[in-house]
Amino acid sequence: MIAALRSFTDRLLGRGEATITVPSFDGALKPNQMLEKAQTLGQFDSPEDLATDGHTLYLADGAVIRRFDGAETSELRRFEAPITALCCLPDGGLAVALDGREVRLFATPSAASAAVTFTDPAMNAINALSCTPDGTLIATDGSSARPYRQWVHDLMERGRSGRVLVLDPASGKVRTIASGLAYAFGACAAGDEIFVSESWRHRVIAVDPEGHQRTVIDHLPVYPSRLSSAASGGFWLTAFAARTQLVEFVLRENGYRRRMMAEIDPEYWIAPKLRSGQSFLEPMQGAHIKTMGVVKPWAPPRSYGLVIRLSAGGVPLYGLHSRVDGVNHGAVVAVEMDGALFAVAKGPGRLLRLPLAGIEQELRA
Amino acid sequence: MSDDIILALRNATKLYAGVPAIENVDFELRRGEIHALVGENGAGKSTLTKVMAGVVALTSGTMEVNGVAATPRTPLEARHLGIAMVFQENSLVPTMTVAQNLFLGQEKFYNRLRGIYIAAQQFLQSLNFDVTPTATVGLLGAAKKQMVEIARAVLHEAKVIIFDEPTATLTPEEKKYFFDLVRDLKRRGVSIVFISHALEEALILADRITILRDGRHVVTDDAAKFDRARIVQAMVGRDLSNTLYGIRKNSVRPAGERVLTVQNLKMAPMVRNNSLSVFAGQITGVFGLVGAGRTETFKVVAGVLKRDFFHGGEVILNGRPVRYRVPAPAVRAGIAYVTEDRKVEGFFETMSVARNIYLGLLAKMPGGRFFLSGREADKVGKTWVEKLKVRATGSDIRVVELSGGNQQKVVIAKSLVQDPELIIFDEPTRGVDVGAIVEIHELIQRLADEGKAVVVISSYLPEIMALSDRILVSRQGKVVEEFSALEATEEKIMYAAVH
């Protein structure tokens, strides 16, 4: 009764759970155009994930794994289903998640067949794979209700069914170490713990082997996605979209949201997107985002690109942005190799490269 | 006495309880000149000008107006001699209209408001002042109030107008407008005396500068012959130019944990959807023109003001949403707000330094205390007086008897005694002399070095640039731009604040 009353007053006054606010991009997340200015290595149909063994970069592009040898990309292998996650194993192997429902381990990237295949029926939307230093394979399953490609449906349904899984190659068994997450999307080992992105709660949490959780960083102004290790310690965290008050408002209005989902083409929902500005039917138009016909970089973002450099403790050090007026939006993965950062901007389908020399000094200043 | 001199003081001495506020000061004001009076707090500037304006009488010495000996004993007598003073805390009646204030004391037996408004309108237009005569003075901004004060002085046909810290409450744009006004008065043949702590203003505006120190005349010379270093050295008797705004930052402190997040804060009409963060171990400077909502934002954070009742936004302290309706819980949560208006909100002026500081400590205690310990108050007061180098004969002296700089130190001590985690300094050096400014700046830097989250709100750009690690620029109720101290320039900051 008291909870119901509180909920009612919160909704009436716009407080508590019903607060429609978003944090600003400031401090370490102060906007710049670094990601927008990054070199474009190639444009692909549906780039999804990156993995590196320290020498070679692997790109998951639809159902194809491409190898990038520094100059150009070549097709390494092709699958029958779209790849949703990719990871290099410490022993030189490769782990691949297919359609979010199956994970295959290959002894080498070019091995003819999978050494181990995980097909646990509970796996539904595997969106990231990561290896701990001891070789344990970690997977994040975004939602048990919606397949990977329907991530926006999960957000609009306020999904809370994300999980962190431990895949044991020896037994072929899958163990859940965290569940009830609001879209787990990315994991990376951090000492004895695993840092996990929880997109719909705009935070990164740490999960220990026993499943205990603690918040590493919260109140992010973005929806965080995959995590990877940085060469000099710490992590790279990507964010595929930025939060807006409009979307926060829609997420609070259940009736409106239900009708929107039932009656409107998902392409035009009031929801974060990986790219925007493609159609006049999009919900945010005109003076919302433009002045004198020019897109305002500071406008409320329907789509956004951001890579955040985190310290070993998870404190943001700086961010690489592609703002509202940019195109390198929908950053879903960033990995570091040979002194450069490689990132996928899923919105325009680009593989990006940013030399890191000098960037850190410039941005941290 | 030359015809060129409109007002002169010879061997002017004023004693307060046997202690000289000014001693054997010679001062000459030429016709149609702008004369800056510069000196530390307690140098005797205000006393000297109050003598001219008839507010206080000389203990010894003489005063001449147009070569004739004059001893105005009241401001009215001074006004009859053609001398008017515009005080730092303006002397307008806030509940009256502009026109009523202009004609205050000159009302006829049958007063016709319409007639007053028409006369005021014509007069203000003749001065090219954009002030509505029917507007209530209390609702005007600082610059407009200043205009009304000036207009009143001109209306009384003052030949000498004295300004005490006229620009302290003005924004940079308003200052520029004020300077134009003063130059216009000069063109009309009015002589101007103005006191300012902002030395650049004296250098830019004045024809001549007089420097006082410890109640004595140090030097008077053409402004062109001064530079900042010479003024400062004459004021304090030592060279401070390298410690005060002199050195440009070549490194900034890295951000620590996010201590404060303000999300879409609203407090109509001043704060409009404002969002910002403050980090530990850094000084976050907040710059903006008056009315940009800086003070109001942080007063909401500190529980001094309330945000909008409906959809007022969120304040998150150390990851936890907070909503303070009064300052006490904010103080207990580790937030200290050092007010910009120390005389009204900062201290109890008739209480001792020690008791004032002790009050700060009491505010931190949940539920206060039933029995108060005078001994503890004295001990706490003494400790902080020594720590902050408050120049007072003892911690039992009343705060009203201290100079502006030392009063400010008491206000700061009152907050620091609470051992806050987040300290908000609102215009920390307004009306404070250069010597105390250096000490206050060092203290602020030290707090950030100790890992505290420090916010400095200031309208004075050099101060913001000298102190801050990151600079937030506020405009029309929200933060519109952020600069690292390394990339910030005055032009960039001002552009963001205005456009």
pLDDT band at residue B406 under the 50/70/90 scheme: confident
Of A15, A24, A365, the CB nearest to B275: A24
User: How far does A230 lie from chain B, in Å, by closest CA?
Assistant: 19
Query: What totals of helices (H) and strands (E) does chain A contain, helices first?
Result: 5, 26
Interval A179-208 mean pLDDT: 95
Query: What totals of helices (H) and strands (E) does chain B contain, helices first?
Result: 16, 20
Q: Which of A11, A21, A248, A323 should we substitute to test contact with B (largest number of B Cβ atoms within 10 Å)?
A: A21
Of B252, B311, B482, the CB nearest to A30: B482
Nearest CA in chain A to B483: A30
Q: Number of C-alpha atoms within 13 angstroms, CB side, residue A233?
A: 6
Q: Which of B266, B275, B310, B470 should we substitute to test contact with A (largest number of A Cβ atoms within 10 Å)?
A: B275
pLDDT tens digits, one per residue of A323-354: 999 999 999 999 999 999 999 999 999 999 99
DSSP 8-class letter at B365: S
Listed ranges A113-122, A148-157, B345-354; the one with the highest mean pLDDT:
A148-157
pLDDT tens digits, one per residue of A270-324: 999 999 888 888 887 776 777 777 888 888 899 999 999 999 999 999 999 999 9
Position B499 pLDDT exceeds 70? no
Determine the pLDDT at residue B221: 92
Interval B99-115 mean pLDDT: 81
Matching CATH number, A22-364, of 2.120.10.30, 3.40.50.720, 3.90.650.10, 1.10.10.10: 2.120.10.30
Helix axes B353-364, B374-387, angle to 10 degrees: 100
pLDDT band at residue B90 under the 50/70/90 scheme: low
pLDDT tens digits, one per residue of A119-151: 988 899 999 999 988 888 999 999 999 999 999
Interval A40-50 mean pLDDT: 94
- Buried b / exposed e over B26-56, threshold 16 CB at 10 Å, is ebbbbbbbbbbbbbbbbbbbbbbbbbbbbbb
Interval B68-72 mean pLDDT: 89
Of A26, A218, A364, the CB nearest to B254: A364
Of A13, A26, A365, the CB nearest to B482: A26
User: How far does B433 lie from chain A, in Å, by closest CA?
Assistant: 32
Residues of A in contact with B478 (CB under 8 A): none
Query: Under an 8 A CB cutoff, do A219 and B252 touch?
Result: no
Position B44 pLDDT exceeds 60? yes
User: How far does A26 lie from chain B, in Å, by closest CA?
Assistant: 7
Position B365 pLDDT exceeds 90? no
Show which residues on chain A lie within 8 Å of chain B, measured between beta carbons: 12-16, 19-24, 26-28, 30, 215, 218-219, 245, 315, 364-365
Nearest CA in chain B to A361: B251
Domain boundaries, chain A: 22-364
Q: How many CB pairs under 8 A join A and B?
A: 64
User: How far does B486 lie from chain A, in Å, by closest CA?
Assistant: 7
Interval B255-284 mean pLDDT: 91
pLDDT tens digits, one per residue of B154-209: 788 789 999 887 776 666 666 777 788 888 888 888 999 988 767 778 888 899 99
Position B411 pLDDT exceeds 80? yes
Q: Compute the radius of gyration of chain A from its Cα atoms.
A: 20
pLDDT band at residue B437 under the 50/70/90 scheme: confident
| ipTM confidence | 0.81
Q: What is the mean pLDDT of chain A?
A: 91
Position B46 pLDDT exceeds 70? yes
pTM, 2 dp: 0.73
pLDDT band at residue B435 under the 50/70/90 scheme: confident
Give every CB contact of residue B56 below 8 A, 6+ residues apart in sequence: B14, B47, B50
The owner of tokens 């308003």 is B174
Domains observed in chain B: 5-236 (3.40.50.300), 258-334+420-498 (3.40.50.300), 353-358+365-418 (no CATH)
Determine the pLDDT at residue B454: 96
Query: Under an 8 A CB cutoff, do B279 and A27 touch?
Result: yes
pLDDT band at residue B92 under the 50/70/90 scheme: confident
- B461 contacts B291 by C-beta, under 8 angstroms: no
Show which residues on chain B lie within 8 Å of chain A, measured between beta carbons: 252, 254-258, 261, 263-264, 275-277, 279, 309-314, 316, 319, 321, 323, 470, 472, 479, 482, 484, 486-487
Q: Which of B252, B286, B471, B482 should we substitute to test contact with A (largest number of A Cβ atoms within 10 Å)?
A: B482
Beta strands A126-131 and A340-345, pairing class? unpaired
* Distance in angstroms (rounded) separating the CA atoms of residues B111 and B495: 47
Residues of A in contact with B471 (CB under 8 A): none
Interval B454-475 mean pLDDT: 89
Position A104 pLDDT exceeds 70? yes
Nearest CA in chain A to B264: A21
Q: Torsion angle, CA of A72/A76/A78/A79, rounded to 10 degrees?
A: -120
Determine the pLDDT at residue B238: 56
Residues of B in contact with A22 (CB under 8 A): 263-264, 275
pLDDT band at residue B42 under the 50/70/90 scheme: low
Of A14, A23, A215, the CB nearest to B275: A23
| Residue A288, Cβ density class (10 Å: 0-12 exposed, 13-18 middle, ≥19 buried) | middle
Position B241 pLDDT exceeds 70? no
Determine the pLDDT at residue B367: 67
Query: Under an 8 A CB cutoff, do A218 and B319 touch?
Result: yes
Interval B112-126 mean pLDDT: 86
Determine the pLDDT at residue B239: 54
Query: Under an 8 A CB cutoff, do A19 and B310 touch?
Result: no
User: How far does A233 lie from chain B, in Å, by closest CA?
Assistant: 17
Determine the pLDDT at residue A364: 59
